[in-house]
Amino acid sequence: MIQIIDNTLTTFDYCLPTKEELQVFCELLFDIGVDIIELSVDAYERMEQIINGKKFALHVEFLEMADLFPGFYRYICHSEEPKDNVINEIQINDAREIVRLKSLQKCSEVRIVGLDDLICKSYDKTMAEIKQSVPKSKINFCPENAYGCASALAVQWVMMGGCYVTTSFAGCKNNAATEEVIMALRLALRHKPNRDLSMLPRLVQLFEKITNTTIGNKKPVIGKNIFKVESGIHADGIQKNPANYEAYDPKSVGGIAEIVIGKHSGMKAIQYKLQELKIPLPNEAVMEKMVAFVKETCTEKKSSLKDEEFRQLVHEVIANERNETYR
């Protein structure tokens, strides 16, 4: 059984979210497919209470602190002492340090944090070595993202038979991105295919409000512009068969496919946009002038056109064409 721990709420200690915001954030994480939410002590105290019937893990600095906060599904601590309901965490920054895992052989659950360089090595052999080092333990893999491959490593761990991974929303803790891992596992393994990911924009909005940051427009799965297409051949392909260019339906993550008119747009893209805006298609000669005008305008302004800007450009081209006709 695949199990995903999300540790985003351990990064909110220096923010000032309300308890209601934290509770809604947790509810949305569970809705998209997270199995366990990891809290810091500060986040837990700010929430005041956790959601009944859901699994939460508390990250503590010392194992003795677990006795002060009863009722959690698991406690996570950087420790080598085996204890029930504890995930013993170890930082391993280099595959050559895997030998250190032997000190945790008596622990029932182990979380490995780090291994940023694994993508540069023989990761299949290294992952097998990890399993052999603690054969009786449940191994939770929490790859860090120094080389931009944490999500890929987390998914690869599961594809090779690992059942437990730790991620963070938008990769905010320099870990694999929760939404990327969930989507990849859905596509590759049909993992929780019925979970509703359409509320991801709500998660993005709440995350940005709590952290006072902005998620990049091109961030996989949750970026605002990831379904915007400018190239003419792409626009034509999407019209004929969206699956050629989209691994999943944009609506499944609360997005929408959109043709954007820019300097790379060709005849097909402009025809599609005209139809979308319910503007009658002009003849071929006018279309050619429109394409040239679009390329010139977008090159000068160094950006694509909003729908209203494109509509105004079309009216200008058609008006100029009429003036030339009556001369």
d(CA 295, CA 271): 15
d(CA 47, CA 24): 10
What mean pLDDT is predicted for residues 38-51?
92
Segments forming the whole domain that contains residue 302: 228-325
8 Å CB contact between 143 and 95:
no
Which of 152, 180, 211 lies at the terminal end of a domain, its last residue? 211
Tell me what pLDDT residue 126 has.
84
What mean pLDDT is predicted for residues 225-250?
71
Residue 56 has a CB neighbour count (10 Å cut-off) of 19
Tell me: do 168 and 234 sit in the same domain: no
What mean pLDDT is predicted for residues 150-174?
94
More confident residue, 39 or 250: 39
Which of 186, 211, 236 lies at the terminal end of a domain, its last residue? 211
The pLDDT tens digits for 63-116 are 989 889 999 999 999 998 898 899 999 999 887 888 888 899 899 999 999 988
Tell me: do 71 and 150 sit in the same domain: yes
What mean pLDDT is predicted for residues 7-34?
93
Tell me: do 266 and 293 sit in the same domain: yes
Tell me: do 107 and 140 sit in the same domain: yes
Tell me: do 191 and 249 sit in the same domain: no
Q: Environment class of residue 78 by beta-carbon count within 10 Å: exposed (0-12), middle (13-18) or buried (19+)?
A: middle
Q: How confident is the model at residue 242 (pLDDT cuts 50, 70, 90)?
A: low
More confident residue, 7 or 131: 7
**CATH number, domain at 158?**
3.20.20.70
Report if residue 222 sits inside a domain.
Answer: no
Does residue 294 carry a pLDDT above 90? Answer: no
Tell me what pLDDT residue 29 has.
97
Lowest mean pLDDT among 47-56, 134-143, 145-154, 268-277: 268-277
Tell me: do 171 and 271 sit in the same domain: no
One-letter amino acid identity for 148?
G
> Torsion over CA of 149, 57, 1 and 162, rounded to 10 degrees?
40
Tell me: do 236 and 182 sit in the same domain: no
Does residue 314 carry a pLDDT above 70? Answer: yes
Tell me what pLDDT residue 109 has.
95
Does residue 325 carry a pLDDT above 60? Answer: no
Tell me: do 122 and 233 sit in the same domain: no
Tell me what pLDDT residue 301 has.
82
Does residue 306 carry a pLDDT above 90? Answer: no
- Determine phi and psi for 289, rounding to 5 degrees: -65, -35
Report if residue 13 sits inside a domain.
Answer: yes
The pLDDT tens digits for 168-210 are 999 999 999 999 999 999 999 999 988 989 999 999 999 999 9
Q: How confident is the model at residue 8 (pLDDT cuts 50, 70, 90)?
A: very high
Tell me what pLDDT residue 35 has.
96
Does residue 244 carry a pLDDT above 80? Answer: no
Report if residue 292 sits inside a domain.
Answer: yes
Residue 192 has a CB neighbour count (10 Å cut-off) of 15
Percent of the chain residues topping a pLDDT of 90: 46
Q: How confident is the model at residue 261 (pLDDT cuts 50, 70, 90)?
A: confident
Q: Which residues contact 187 (CB under 8 A, 6 or more apart)?
A: 247, 248
Q: How confident is the model at residue 327 (pLDDT cuts 50, 70, 90)?
A: very low
Which of 183, 211, 239 lies at the terminal end of a domain, its last residue? 211
Report if residue 216 sits inside a domain.
Answer: no
The gap from C-alpha 171 to its chain's centroid, in whole angstroms, comes to: 7
3-state secondary structure of 241: coil
Tell me what pLDDT residue 304 has.
82
Query: How many domains does the structure of the chain reveal?
Result: 2
Tell me what pLDDT residue 236 has.
63
Tell me: do 90 and 190 sit in the same domain: yes
Report if residue 316 sits inside a domain.
Answer: yes
Tell me: do 162 and 58 sit in the same domain: yes
3-state secondary structure of 167: strand
Does residue 297 carry a pLDDT above 60? Answer: yes
Report if residue 221 sits inside a domain.
Answer: no
Tell me: do 243 and 204 sit in the same domain: no
Tell me: do 242 and 131 sit in the same domain: no
Tell me what pLDDT residue 91 has.
92
Lowest mean pLDDT among 51-55, 152-156, 287-291: 287-291
C-alpha separations of 144 from 36, 118, 149, 299 in Å? 19, 10, 8, 39
Residue 81 has a CB neighbour count (10 Å cut-off) of 11
8 Å CB contact between 263 and 294:
yes
Does residue 326 carry a pLDDT above 60? Answer: no
